Chains A and B, each alone.
Chain A
Amino acid sequence: MTTVKTNSMTPVQAINDGLRTMLHEREEMVVLGEDVGINGGVFRATDGLQESFGEDRVFDTPLSESGIIGTSIGMAMNGMLPVAEIQFFGFVYPAYEQVMTHATRMRYRSMGAFTVPMVIRAPYGAGVRAPEIHSDSMEALFTHMPGIKVVCPSNAYDAKGLLISAIEDPDPVLFLEPLKLYRAYKDEVPEGKYEVEIGKGELLREGEDVTLIAWGAMVPVIKKAAQLAEEKGIGCDVIDLRTLSPIDKDIISESVQKTNRCVIVHEAQTTGGLGNDIISIINDTSFLYLKSPIERVTGADVHVPFWALEEHFLPTPERTMHAIQKVMDF
C-alpha cells in the first residue's frame, strides 16, 4: 500500500487546497465571485488561485449574487464547471430565485437534456461577532428545495473531500463553510484528490445512552456536550451529519435504535429547521425504539441577534447537556 502524504491544515486552507486540486484536474472548472480574484476572497479561501490559474479561470464578478449564480447556471449548462462563491451565506437571497427556479430544475424540465453541474460555496453561520445578516443559518431554505444537494463539513479533512465530491457531482451542490471553524484548528489533510461521499454522516464517538446529532460549527459543541455527559456517566453517540440533503438516514436510525434517545443541535431557527426532518426520519424508522421524546437545542424563532447577545441565541455544550439530562430523566 502506498502511503499518502498529508499536510496539517485549517478548514479554510483545506478548501483552498481542494479548489487548487480540482482546478488542476478539470480544465473546464472556473472559480468566480465577489473578491475571489486578486484579493483571494475575504476569508482567503481562494488565496493565490488567480495567480496560479489566471484571470480566465479565477475571476472577480460584479457585485451581483443573482448575476453570479445565473451566469454560473448558464456556464454549467454549456460544458463548464463553475464553482461560485457567495461572500456570506446571508447574502444568498438575491440569488435564491436563480437557484430555485433554474439550477434545481433544469434537469427535470429538460428530461436530462440540460444539466447544471455547479457548486455554490458560502461562509456560513454565527458566533464570530460579524455584523447583521452575516451570521444567518438558512440551510433549511435550501434543504427544502428539490434538486440541490447541501453539504456542510465540520473539519478540514471533510472540507476538502466533500468539496471535491461536490465539484465532481453532476448536479448542483450548495457547500456551506462554517465560519467559526475556518481557522479553529488543524487536521491532517491528504495531498491530491480524494472524496468524502455526499450523503454519508460520520459517527465520531460511541456511547450507549443518547444519540447527539449536529453539523458544521455545532459539531464541536456536541463533542463537548458528550464529554460533559460522560462526567455524569451518560454515554453518547456523536454524529456529524456532514450532508444536510440528502440526510444519511441509516446512520441516524442505527444509532437511535441502539441508544433509544436523541438530542439534535442546530444553530438555525427552530420552526422549519432541519431538526424537524431528523425527527421525522426517526419517527419513520425507529419510533418503537424510543424511550423519550426527542429534544432539540436550536436557535429560537428570532433573527440572529446583533452580536452583543449572540451567545444567547447559539446552542452551547451546557444547553445541550441540559437537554441530554432531560431525555435521560424522562
Chain B
Amino acid sequence: MHTSIKNRSAHHQDITEQFPVKQIIDGEGNLVEDTYRNEITVENTRKFYRQMLCMRTFDQKAINLQRQGRIGTYPGFKGQEAAQVGSAMALREDDWMFPTYRDHAASITFGGSYAILSSWKGRVEGNRPPEGRNIVPPSVPIATQLPLATGAAMASKYRQSSQAVIAYFGDGATSEGDFHEGMNFASVFRAPVVFFNQNNRYAISVPVWKQMNSETIAQKALAYGMPGARVDGNDVFAVYHETLKALERARSGDGPTLIEAVTWRYGAHTTADDPTKYRDNEEENKKHILNDPLSRLEAFMKAEGYWDVQWAEDIKKEIKAEIDEAVKEMETMPEPDVNDIYDHMFDSATWPIEEQKKAYMEYLKGGSEK
C-alpha cells in the first residue's frame, strides 16, 4: 500500500528552484544576504539571541519538570526557537495569534507571560491570554485553528482594522482538510492572515516525505493563488523579515501568505513519545546541530564583534531567574476551583448545568457520604 518514496524527479527540482530556502545568516553564521544589513544591529541581534536562549532554557526546564512529575505530558520545541521567536517578534501588539500546543516560544514571546506553563499541569488558567493580547488557547486538534484564523482575519478586514493574524501549524497539519479550507477561504476573501508552517520533518513518527508527495509545503500556496515562501526556520533573521513582509502585505489589503519555515525538532514529539522507535535520533540530531538557531547566531555575533562575554553571562543569570520565577508562580497558584468546571460554559448557566453544579456541591459538602 505504501508508495511514498523520497523521489527527486525533474518536477521536484523545478519546485525547489521556485521555492528556494531563504537565508540571511547561514549555518556557520555568515551573512549571506545583505538586504537587511542595516537592521541587523547589535541591539537587535542581542534581543533575538536573548529571547531564543530564554525559550530554550524554558523548554528544558519544562521537560525537567515533567520528568520530576511536577507537570504532565509536555511537547518540547528545542530546535524551533528561531521559527517561533522570529515570527512572533514580527507581530504588532494588537495582532492575533493562533498557536498550537508546541508554540510556547511564540506565545511567550508575543505575550510576555509564562502562564501557559500551568496548562501542562492540567490548569485551564494556563490558557487565558495576558491582558490585551489576542493569543488564542493553543489548538490541540491538528489544523482546526486554521479556518478560525482566517475568520478572525476576515473580521479584521470587514471591520477595517489593520490587525493581522498569524496561525501556526506543523507539517502533518497540511494533510488535514481544515488546512485546505482555511487557506482557500483566506485566499478567496483576501483575509489578512499569515499561515506560518513549522516543517520540523516529523508528525509524531511519520516523516514529511511520507506525509505528502510534494517537495515543499510552500508550493501549496500556488494552488490557492497566494504567495508562498520557504525560509530557513533556524535563521531568526530570515524568519523575522519574511514574516514581517507577509504581515505588511496582509495589512495593506493584499491578502494571505503561506510561509514554510524549514526547521528541526531535536527531541521527542512529547515527553510520552520515544523517537528512537522511528528515527536515528542521535545521528540525525548531529546533522542538524550544524544549523542550530542559537549557535549560528552566536557565531555571527562573534564574527561581527557583537558578542560580549560579560553580557552572555549576565543574560544567562537573568534568564534563569526569570524562569525560576515563572515556575514558582505556577507552583504557588491557589488550588484549582471546582466552580471553574461549570462557570465558563455559557454566559449564564442553563438549568442542567445549574442543577448539576448544585447537586455536586451538595454532594461535596456531604463529607461523610463521599
With beta carbons under 8 angstroms apart, the residue of B2, B122, B356 that contacts A308 is: B122
Q: Is A93 a contact of B141 with CB atoms below 8 Å?
A: yes
Mark A102-137 against chain B: 1 for CB-CB distance below 8 A, else 0. 000000000000000000000000000111111000
Q: Is A62 a contact of B211 with CB atoms below 8 Å?
A: yes
Q: A34-B204, A35-B205, A38-B205 are in contact. Are A300 and B353 (CB under 8 A)?
A: yes
Q: Which of B134-192 contact A (CB under 8 A)?
A: 140-142, 144, 172-173, 175-178
Interface size on A, residues (CB 8 A): 49
Question: Nearest Cβ in chain A — how far from B139, in angstroms?
Answer: 9
Which residue of chain B is the closest to A130 with respect to CB atoms?
A: B73
Residue picked from A34, A66, A134, most chain B C-beta under 10 Å: A34
Q: Is B277 a contact of A59 with CB atoms below 8 Å?
A: no
Whether a CB of chain B sits under 8 angstroms from the CB of A302 is yes
Question: How many angstroms from the CA of A32 to the CA of B140 in the assembled complex?
Answer: 22
Which residue of chain B is the closest to A299 with respect to CB atoms?
A: B356
Q: Is B370 a contact of A308 with CB atoms below 8 Å?
A: no
Which residue of chain B is the closest to A304 with respect to CB atoms?
A: B341
Whether a CB of chain B sits under 8 angstroms from the CB of A63 is yes
Q: Is B123 a contact of A306 with CB atoms below 8 Å?
A: yes
Question: Nearest Cβ in chain B — how far from A302, in angstroms?
Answer: 5
Whether a CB of chain B sits under 8 angstroms from the CB of A310 is yes
Q: Is A60 a contact of B205 with CB atoms below 8 Å?
A: yes
| Residues in chain B near residue A134, CB distance under 8 A | 140
Question: Nearest Cβ in chain B — how far from A52, in angstroms?
Answer: 15
Q: Which of A62-118 contact B (CB under 8 A)?
A: 62-67, 90-91, 93-94
Mark A11-45 against chain B: 1 for CB-CB distance below 8 A, else 0. 00000000000000000001010110111101000
Which residue of chain A is the closest to B175 with respect to CB atoms?
A: A62
Q: Which of B333-370 contact A (CB under 8 A)?
A: 336, 338, 340-342, 345, 350, 352-353, 356-357, 360, 363, 366, 369-370
Q: A94-B176, A132-B140 are in contact. Are A307 and B205 (CB under 8 A)?
A: no
Which residue of chain B is the closest to A70 with respect to CB atoms?
A: B177
Question: How many angstroms from the CA of A279 to the CA of B141 in the assembled complex?
Answer: 34
Q: Which of A283-329 contact B (CB under 8 A)?
A: 300-303, 305-310, 312-313, 318-319, 321-322, 325
Question: Nearest Cβ in chain B — how far from A229, in angstroms?
Answer: 13
Q: A94-B177, A301-B345 are in contact. Are A39 and B1 (CB under 8 A)?
A: no
Chain A, interface SS category: loop
Mark B101-121 against chain A: 1 for CB-CB distance below 8 A, else 0. 100000000000000000111
| Residues in chain B near residue A325, CB distance under 8 A | 369
| Residues in chain A near residue B278, CB distance under 8 A | 38-39
Q: A306-B123, A319-B363 are in contact. Are A39 and B204 (CB under 8 A)?
A: yes
| Residues in chain A near residue B363, CB distance under 8 A | 319, 322
Whether a CB of chain B sits under 8 angstroms from the CB of A180 is no
Question: How many angstroms from the CA of A90 to the CA of B206 in the assembled complex?
Answer: 20
Q: Is A300 a contact of B356 with CB atoms below 8 Å?
A: yes
With beta carbons under 8 angstroms apart, the residue of A63, A94, A322 that contacts B366 is: A322
Question: How many angstroms from the CA of A302 to the CA of B344 in the assembled complex?
Answer: 9
Q: Which of B191-210 contact A (CB under 8 A)?
A: 203-206, 210
Whether a CB of chain B sits under 8 angstroms from the CB of A186 is no
With beta carbons under 8 angstroms apart, the residue of A30, A32, A64, A131 that contacts B101 is: A131
With beta carbons under 8 angstroms apart, the residue of A37, A57, A271, A305 that contacts B340 is: A305
Q: Is A63 a contact of B277 with CB atoms below 8 Å?
A: no
Which residue of chain A is the closest to B137 with respect to CB atoms?
A: A132
Q: A134-B140, A308-B336, A313-B341 are in contact. Are A60 and B210 (CB under 8 A)?
A: yes
Q: A39-B277, A270-B356, A302-B341 are in contact. Are A131 and B2 (CB under 8 A)?
A: no
| Residues in chain B near residue A231, CB distance under 8 A | none
Q: A34-B204, A55-B2, A306-B124 are in contact. Are A64 and B175 (CB under 8 A)?
A: yes
Q: Is A38 a contact of B124 with CB atoms below 8 Å?
A: no
Question: How many angstroms from the CA of A133 to the CA of B175 in the assembled complex?
Answer: 20
The 4 closest A-B pairs by CB, nearest first: A307-B122, A308-B122, A39-B205, A62-B175
New contact pairs (17) apart from A35-B206, A309-B124, A313-B341, CB-CB < 8 Å = A34-B204, A38-B278, A55-B1, A60-B205, A63-B175, A63-B206, A94-B178, A131-B73, A300-B342, A300-B356, A300-B357, A301-B353, A306-B122, A306-B124, A308-B124, A309-B336, A325-B369
B-binding residues in A (CB < 8 A): 30, 32, 34-35, 37-40, 42, 55-57, 59-60, 62-67, 90-91, 93-94, 129-134, 270-271, 300-303, 305-310, 312-313, 318-319, 321-322, 325
A-binding residues in B (CB < 8 A): 1-2, 72-73, 101, 119-124, 126, 140-142, 144, 172-173, 175-178, 203-206, 210-212, 272-273, 277-278, 336, 338, 340-342, 345, 350, 352-353, 356-357, 360, 363, 366, 369-370
**Contact sample, A vs B, 22 pairs, CB 8 Å cutoff:** A34-B203, A38-B277, A39-B205, A42-B273, A59-B1, A60-B205, A62-B206, A62-B210, A62-B211, A63-B211, A64-B175, A66-B177, A67-B175, A94-B141, A131-B101, A131-B120, A133-B140, A303-B345, A308-B121, A313-B341, A322-B363, A322-B370
